[in-house]
Structure 1
Amino acid sequence: MSTHTPVMVTERVGYFPGHVNIGLVVGNTGAILIDSGLDTQTAKKIKKGLDAITQPLTAIVQTHAHADHFGGNAYLLDCWPEAKVYAPPLEEAVIRNPILEPIYLNLGAEPLDDLRNKFLLAQPSRVDDLLPLEGDVEIDGITLTILSLPGHSWQQAGIVCDDICFAADSYLGEELLAKHKLPYLVDAGKTLDSLDRLLASSYSGYLPGHGVFATAVHDVLEKNKEWHLRIYDTIEEILQVEHTLEEALAQLCERVGIAVETVSSYVLFRSAFMGYLIGLHREGRIGYRLSQNRWLWHASVRDQVAPPLDEER
Structure 2
Amino acid sequence: MSHLQPEMITSRVGYFPGSVNVGVVLGESGAILVDSGLDAQTAKKIKKGLDAMAQPLVAIVQTHAHADHFGGNAYLLGCWPDALVYAPPLEEAIIRCPLLEPIYLGMGAQPLPELRNKFLLAEASRVDRILPTEGKVEIDGVSFTILSLPGHSWQQVGLVCDDICFAADSYFGEETLEKHKLPFLIDAHETILSLVKLVETNYTGYLPGHGPYTTAVEPILTRNIHGHRRLMDMIESILAEERTLEQGLALLCERLQLSLENMTGYVLYRTAFMGYLVGLLREERIRYRFAANQLLWSKIE
Q: TM-score range by the shorter chain?
A: over 0.9
| Cα distance in 1 for residues equivalent to 2:218 and 2:15 | 21
**Counterpart AA for 2:177:** L
Letter in 1 for 2:246: E
- Give a deviation string over 1:129-183, Cα, whole Å, max 9, x none: 0000100000001001100000000000100000000000000112211110000
* Equivalent residue runs for 1:169-188 within 5 Å: 169-188=169-188
Could you tell me which residue of structure 2 aligns to residue 8 of structure 1?
Answer: 8
1:47-58 to 2 correspondences below 5 Å: 47-58=47-58
Q: What are the superposed Cα offsets for residues 253-272 of structure 1, whole Å, 9 maximum, x if unpaired?
A: 00011011110000000000
Give the SS at the match of 1:243. coil
Gaps of 5+ in 1: 302-313
Query: For residue 253 of structure 1, what is the amino acid of its counterpart?
Result: C
Normalising to structure 1: TM-score of the pair? 0.96
Amino acid at match of 1:286: I
Distance apart, 1:245 and its partner CA:
0.4
Q: How far, CA to CA, are the matches of 1:172 and 1:133 in structure 2?
A: 21
Tell me the amino acid that sits aligned with residue 272 of structure 1.
A
Percent identity, aligned pairs only, is: 66
Partner Cα distance (2:62, 2:277) in 1: 28
Q: Are positions 1:230 and 2:230 aligned together?
A: yes
Is the contact made by 1:88 and 1:131 (CA closer than 8 Å) also made in structure 2? yes
The secondary structure found in structure 2 opposite 1:280 is helix
Corresponding position of 2:274: 274
CA contact (8 A) 1:40 1:71 kept: yes
> Shift in Å at residue 28 of structure 1?
0.2
CA contact (8 A) 1:137 1:146 kept: yes
1:298 aligns with 298
**Paired residues of 1:88 and 1:132 also in contact (CA < 8 A):** yes
Deviation string 1:264-294 (CA, Å, 9 cap, x unpaired) is 0000000000000000001110000000110
Which residue identity is paired with 2:82? E
Aligned to 1:78: 78
Measured in 2, the distance between the counterparts of 1:20 and 1:2 equals 11
Query: Is 1:163 aligned to 2:142, yes or no?
Result: no
Q: Tell me the distance in 2 between the aligned counterparts of 1:145 and 1:108.
A: 34
Instruction: Output the CA distance in 2 between the equivalents of 1:217 and 1:245.
Output: 35
Q: Where do 1:234-273 residues align within 5 Å?
A: 234-273=234-273
Given residue 168 of structure 1, which amino acid in structure 2 is its aligned partner? Answer: A
Structure 2 gap segments, 5+ residues each: none
Partner of 2:90, secondary structure, is helix
Query: Which digits, 9 at most, give the CA deviation of each residue in 1:27-66, with x for residues without a partner?
Result: 0000000000000000000000000100000000000000
Give 1:2 deviation, angstroms. 2.6
CA RMSD of aligned residues (A): 0.5
Paired residues in the alignment total 301
1:289 is paired with a residue whose SS is strand
Work out the CA distance in 2 between the residues paired with 1:175 and 1:157. 22
2: CA distance between counterparts of 1:142 and 1:276?
A: 37
SS of 1:15 mapped into structure 2? strand
Superposed displacement of residue 242, structure 1: 0.3
More moved, 252-261 vs 119-128 = 252-261
- Asked if the contact 1:2/1:19 (under 8 Å) is kept, the reply is no
CA distance in 1, matches of 2:2, 2:98: 24
Q: Which residue of 2 aligns with 1:305?
A: none
Q: Which amino acid aligns with 1:88?
A: P
* Runs of at least 4 residues off by over 3 Å: none
Match of 2:139 in 1: 139
Q: Secondary structure at the match of 1:227?
A: helix
